[in-house]
Amino acid sequence: MQLQLVVVETGQSWRRALLRMVWDPKGAIGHSDYGSFERQGSSSNPEEDSQHPQLRAGASLPLSPLHSQQATTSNMSDTDLIQRQPLLPLPAKNGHHITVEYEEDGEDHSEDEGRSGVKANGVVKINIPKTEREEQRYPKEKWKTLMAFLCVFFGTLMSVASLSLVHEKVPDKETYPPLPDIFFEFFPQVDWALDVSEIIIMVSSNVTFLIILFHKHRYIVFRRMFLIIALLYLMRSVTMYVTVLPMSSTTYYCSPKANVTTPWLLTKRVWQLMSGFGLSINGKHTYCGDFIFSGHTVVLTLCYLLINEYSPDSPKRLFQLLSWTSFIASTTAVFMVLLSRGHYTIDVVIAYFATTRTFWIYHTLANNASLKKPGPHNYLARAWWFPIFRYFEGNVGVKVPRQHEWPLPWPRRFLHKPPNRNS
């Protein structure tokens, strides 16, 4: 919608006509918003009678049916006149009045778009941006969320398939000792620390899932989480396969090597690893060689970033405490991974940088509409996954707010919304 202010010049005849129509004071009995149509007697102001001889004493107009008796006469200022005539334009000090005109949405003003100010014909134009519905700014696009879930399934499948192949290439730990690591020099190995780390992973994952589930725009947030995990696991499947490191732990159990890789053996290993969700606490993760980079660190870091980004704003202290608790828990779990010799320190460092940079670059692109278009100055658009990102985030125009709601259609009392007091 566009607002236009038009300045129009008027003469004395317009003011005289109004003086004839509106003469009663505001306190007169039977006064209406459009004034009285009768005046009897002489005015208390002789100057006005001399200026308007047609309204002098003895000249009367028919009485309006809205009045039950004659109205008294008095002086009327310009302010009183304006208040008595609310539908008339406002007079300015220089004898002009301002007319406000609105242009409806849908009119073609592409040539004037983005321009405002006083034009040569006296029109004052003020551009008002069009309001967008919430459904347009935050589209659910459930099919895209389903496709993002398929992407994370494919990324996880590639990661465990890579591990199934790497298991055959891992150097014998009896022949090749662990590589020198600065963390290993200061802290002794603790085998049960890996179980503690994986318990923290399960708790953090469930808390993150609940926060996203109760988010008002949960489909968008789930879509982003799935895509980021898919990107990280695809990169991990490559780095894990190209460089195979010796075992970092001398006590971790590894399944015997088959010395041959067949499709059936690969499928069996993939199913075993995926059924255990990549955790060793349930006894399914018995294949070795998944070092660069740490999958445990990826999950822990991503859980903290999602909680910190999408947790509610209020009550502020409660969710600030939740964010700090997630940070401390993730840091403790990573420390436990290193303490159990589940990974080298380089695995954790690379996983931290890969996760945080992918998360921050993705959200920087998502929260800035100008960065969603490739151009000579948008170097972020040169990422290999930018076309995938553009497809999934192309219709999300602005930053996703921290709004949460009850996700289920029952019970109904949780779905009740308080009335809008600002309407």
Q: Which two tokens stand for residue 204?
A: 């953090």
Query: How far apart are the C-alpha atoms of 108 and 160, rounded to whole Å?
Result: 56
For 82-92, letters b (16+ CB in 10 Å) and e give eebeeeebebe
Q: Confirm whether 96 is a catalytic residue.
A: no
Question: Which among 395, 423, 417, 356 is positioned nearest to 216, based on CA atoms?
Answer: 417
- C-alpha atoms less than 13 angstroms from C-alpha of 264 in its C-beta half-sphere: 1
**Catalytic residue from among 167, 215, 285, 296:** 296
Q: Around Cβ 332, how many Cβ atoms within 10 Å?
A: 15
Q: Is 191 a catalytic residue?
A: no
Helix and strand numbers (H, E) in the chain are: 13, 5
Any catalytic annotation for residue 49? Answer: no
One-letter amino acid of 102: Y
Query: Residue 66 in contact with residue 57, Cβ under 8 Å?
Result: no
180 phi and psi, to 5 degrees? -60, 135
Question: Catalytic one among 49, 347, 404, 416?
Answer: 347
Lookup: tokens for 170: 């891992």
- Choosing from 217, 343, 377, 404, the catalytic residue is 343
Which DSSP state fits 92?
P
Only one residue has tokens 């600065």, namely: 182
Residue positions annotated with a catalytic role: 296, 343, 347
